[in-house]
């Protein structure tokens, strides 16, 4: 069967940070490898989340859905871009009219890691200042080390590392995949296993959206869609959605696949780390995600999430 004729350049939208651009260029590379003759054009778009970086306001305080994705989705609907690339963990679980998740790909290291002037987590002294913008990370760190001082931090990966170097923070928690994609592994003092700090739903994976009615682009994206990554992250994101929680909530989930089944670890923690609901199960992606969410709500996650919403 002959290859379809080359199409005009596919315009790929992304945020403008170094990490977002690096991730998007990798997606473009695998698309071009999958379809010889295809050309891509990267277009950076500023999101609401990007515009609030300088304020330093914590992400949960800003509120709203799609802080880092809404403008890209609008550009898709407007036809300004053909594809949008996101870190999957930033993508809300609610469906968006006219836009679909065409591929989940390049899922790499799901772990969190520590960049630190003061050593690994177990060596940090009382009162050590650790920065994170994530309620999920801060809640689990407080549960693990309630003697530490956890503070909100904003900015891109490089900015957060610089704040540690300059002494504004003693350490910072970051996603390992982002560190690796930027070639900054040498900055890491400790890689935290997923059973120590459970990752965010979708962490380490890239999401590629397209217009729902763009059949040619959806056919192209089907070639790079990773079945195992799609299954695992579907279970994780179903857990998040069924809890009625958003991307900034203190919710963690990590799925691993075996055949058609996913083993899912789910966690909901109070922001102070004093209450932790953690459970696991195995099943088909959406079934196990919904089941664990129901079990978590019955085990006290409902009260934790209600308090966070207030």
Using CA atoms, how far apart are residues 138 and 290, in angstroms rounded to an integer?
A: 25
Q: Which of 82, 90, 170, 214 is catalytic?
A: 90
Using CA atoms, how far apart are residues 214 and 81, in angstroms rounded to an integer?
A: 12
Tokens of 45: 């778009």
Residue with token string 């790079």: 224
Sign for the CA dihedral angle at 68, 72, 233, 285 comes to positive
Using CA atoms, how far apart are residues 191 and 180, in angstroms rounded to an integer?
A: 11
> For residue 46, which of 19, 13, 79, 78 has the smallest C-alpha distance?
13
Contact 76, 221 (CB under 8 A): no
Tokens of 224: 């790079």
Using CA atoms, how far apart are residues 241 and 263, in angstroms rounded to an integer?
A: 18
Using CA atoms, how far apart are residues 235 and 265, in angstroms rounded to an integer?
A: 10
Q: Mutual orientation of helices 18-34 and 157-165 as an angle, nearest 10°?
A: 140
Q: Which residues contact 29 (CB under 8 A, 6 or more apart)?
A: none
> For residue 85, which of 114, 43, 127 has the smallest C-alpha distance?
43
90 an active-site residue?
yes
Q: Between the CA of residue 293 and those of 187, 277, 281, 299, 302, what are the distances in Å? A: 36, 11, 11, 10, 10
Q: Between the CA of residue 299 and those of 20, 30, 57, 277, 285, what are the distances in Å? A: 37, 43, 32, 7, 21
Catalytic (active-site) positions:
90
């Amino acid at each position: 069967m002959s290859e379809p004729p080359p199409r005009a350049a596919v315009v790929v939208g992304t945020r403008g940070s170094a990490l977002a651009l690096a991730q998007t260029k990798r997606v473009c590379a695998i698309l071009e490898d999958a379809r010889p003759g295809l050309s891509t054009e990267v277009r950076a778009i500023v999101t609401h989340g990007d515009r609030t970086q300088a304020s330093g306001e914590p992400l949960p305080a800003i509120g709203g859905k799609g802080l880092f994705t809404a403008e890209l989705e609008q550009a898709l609907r407007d036809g300004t871009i053909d594809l949008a690339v996101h870190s999957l963990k930033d993508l809300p679980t609610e469906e968006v009219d006219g836009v679909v998740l065409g591929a989940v790909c390049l899922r790499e290291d799901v772990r969190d890691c520590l960049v630190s002037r003061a050593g690994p987590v177990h060596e940090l002294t009382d009162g050590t200042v650790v920065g994170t913008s994530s309620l999920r990370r801060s809640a689990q760190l407080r549960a693990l080390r309630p003697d530490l001082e956890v503070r909100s931090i904003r900015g891109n990966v490089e900015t957060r590392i610089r704040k540690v170097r300059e002494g504004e923070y003693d350490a910072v928690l970051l996603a390992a995949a982002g560190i690796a994609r930027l070639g900054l592994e040498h900055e890491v003092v400790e890689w935290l296993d997923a059973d120590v700090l459970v990752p965010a739903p979708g962490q380490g994976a890239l999401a590629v959206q397209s217009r729902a009615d763009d059949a040619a682009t959806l056919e192209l994206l089907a070639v790079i869609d990773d079945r195992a990554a799609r299954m695992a992250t579907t279970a994780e994101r179903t857990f998040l959605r069924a809890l009625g929680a958003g991307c900034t909530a203190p919710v963690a989930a990590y799925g691993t696949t075996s055949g058609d089944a996913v083993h899912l670890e789910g966690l909901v923690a109070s922001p102070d780390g004093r209450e932790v609901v953690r459970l696991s199960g195995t099943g088909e992606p959406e079934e196990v995600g919904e089941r664990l969410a129901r079990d978590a709500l019955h085990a006290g996650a409902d009260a934790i999430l209600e308090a966070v919403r207030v």
